[in-house]
Chain A
């Protein structure tokens, strides 16, 4: 088979060859970034503390916990940190440093550069989370004994990558629009912190409005006011885009379970008393709806932010 030729008579390299070159370019950048390595180390420190601290702090002997590993999820702050480390320089610093000029004069389209960078970010985050989950699983087995349902860990991994990608795509979009790494990072951090702080406050004081489940973060249950009803009792869960992984596992484990969204009666809280405040169930939803909705909402945000990123990169004029 002869290779397709361009108008200038040269064989046109395959799309995949050029795409892979962009991925290599981006992967090396990501791997050699010191802050990314720093965040990986920090994550290991947190995972180690999560494994060891309960053992060290408790005076009681260690009890076997066969559900330790499938109950573990990377925190929302870690999602943001990984996203920040991976995405903040990805497009904006190409413009800031001027490296975009030689890159875009190679026979790679802007769409290919965008897709290559995105794919590299996906691979890097997937690798980092895989290492963390394997580390946690081995640590969990060593400390808490044989673990149940380890086959469900990939769902947690998948969900956490999707949760992280909301922030990746937001930061990429800000970087492509502003062409400034600092603005991309600060806008991303501002949005993350604003939602991290405001969602629990709104869900506690105004009640678990279903609309909160459509905003990135912990959802309507971010104020610890969503309960997964199980035969063994209630289990507090988040219901937003930060909880996709853990809710997918809950769905697999308890397919017919329901989630009750409650409003906390703040007037029932009595100072000096340790009793739980009164809660009224506002509405109930199956776990399947909660999990699939958070996944769908995440995909919509990712698509919208990535479309903005692609459009901004496509239309960017290289002035410097």
Chain B
């Protein structure tokens, strides 16, 4: 499996507090991977280990196929890992990023671009494009000290994309943004993924993750509770999905035809509504609708009842903290 991020038994302790506890995280290449967890779950600590800001106490870490930390590595071996600079291929935006207030927006990008080894010509082409992408055109020559929180967030996104990274790590990218900015960030993330990059995004906004992510890992107390595709995670705890179909006149032929469909596991009739239980979370709207129409029924309305990511998140966290599933 081609992985952009792979951690094994990753552990980070601050004194007696274990922030990350034997975490096994796998992020496939060319996916948008949501990294979810309540406050203090260990998301930011894990991300800081991935970008080299923190050193783990135990475990190994591979980023873009290159080992950046191995358990029990000697001093020289670890030094060699640090020289294999995966940072050249990573774009990272910290939570509420802070940049030097004395620099202008465009200056900051120019200096960071130089650190990535971009030529002056490359910087001249890339920086105006990014400034426009994040909506800072006309403000790029203002000092960052004069930027609002939202503008700092935008320049943060711009610096993340400066080096055309293979792996983009965004820690709470929408924090501090207005609703329009949040939508724009989501669009930017989708665009990044379309270009064949891997995105690891940590967020508290579950609806945002549902809209942009293909895969999700939920962690609590430093341990991964679940890691899978968004579709599988969304449906994993609340039982099978249900379709509620309102039909003008329900006949036994309609009920039997629907029951015979492969994705259907059961049908209950309540008045002129059919409550159809599905075996999987795959979309069965078309098949059900076609079968009812063919059997002579006229559909008035149809709704898909399923658990969403928020339900799963709350149930998982609650269960992990010793409570009963809701």
Interface size bracket, B side: 35 or more
| Among B52, B99, B102, B107, contact of A104 (Cβ-Cβ < 8 Å) | B52
* Residue B112 interfacial (CB < 8 Å): yes
Contact A102 B94 (CB under 8 A): yes
A11-19, A66-74, A180-188 - the one binding chain B: A11-19
| Among B55, B84, B86, contact of A317 (Cβ-Cβ < 8 Å) | B55
| Among A8, A21, A105, contact of B92 (Cβ-Cβ < 8 Å) | A105
Question: Smallest CB–CB gap between A91 and chain B, Å?
Answer: 13
B22-30, B113-121, B191-199, B276-284 - the one binding chain A: B113-121
Give bound CA distance, A13 to B118, whole Å: 8
Count of A interface residues, CB-CB < 8 Å: 33
Contact B53 A21 (CB under 8 A): no
A28-36, A132-140, A224-232, A298-306 - the one binding chain B: A28-36
Question: In the complex, what residues of A have CB within 8 A of residue B159's CB?
Answer: 102
Question: In the complex, what residues of A have CB within 8 A of residue B115's CB?
Answer: 13, 18, 21-22, 106-108
Hey, what's the 0/1 contact readout for B42-76 against A, CB within 8 Å counting as 1?
Answer: 00000010011111000000001110000000000
Q: Which of B54, B66, B102, B115 has the most CB of A within 10 A?
A: B115
Give bound CA distance, A97 to B99, whole Å: 8
Contact A25 B66 (CB under 8 A): no
Question: In the complex, what residues of A have CB within 8 A of residue B99's CB?
Answer: 99, 102
Contact A25 B166 (CB under 8 A): no
Q: Which residue of B lies closest to A14 (CB)?
A: B117
* Residue B310 interfacial (CB < 8 Å): no
> What 18 new A-B contacts, CB under 8 Å, besides A10-B88, A98-B98?
A7-B65, A7-B84, A8-B64, A10-B89, A21-B115, A22-B115, A24-B114, A25-B103, A101-B97, A102-B97, A102-B98, A105-B92, A106-B116, A107-B87, A107-B88, A108-B115, A109-B82, A317-B55
Which 10 pairs of residues, A with B, have the shortest CB-CB distance?
A13-B117, A98-B98, A21-B114, A318-B53, A8-B89, A32-B102, A106-B115, A21-B115, A107-B87, A7-B66
A sample of 17 inter-chain contacts (CB < 8 A) reads A6-B84, A7-B66, A7-B86, A13-B117, A18-B114, A18-B115, A22-B115, A25-B103, A29-B100, A97-B100, A99-B99, A102-B112, A106-B116, A107-B115, A109-B82, A317-B54, A319-B14
Report B's interface with A, CB cutoff 8 A: 14, 48, 51-55, 64-66, 82, 84-90, 92, 94, 96-103, 107, 111-112, 114-118, 156, 159, 166
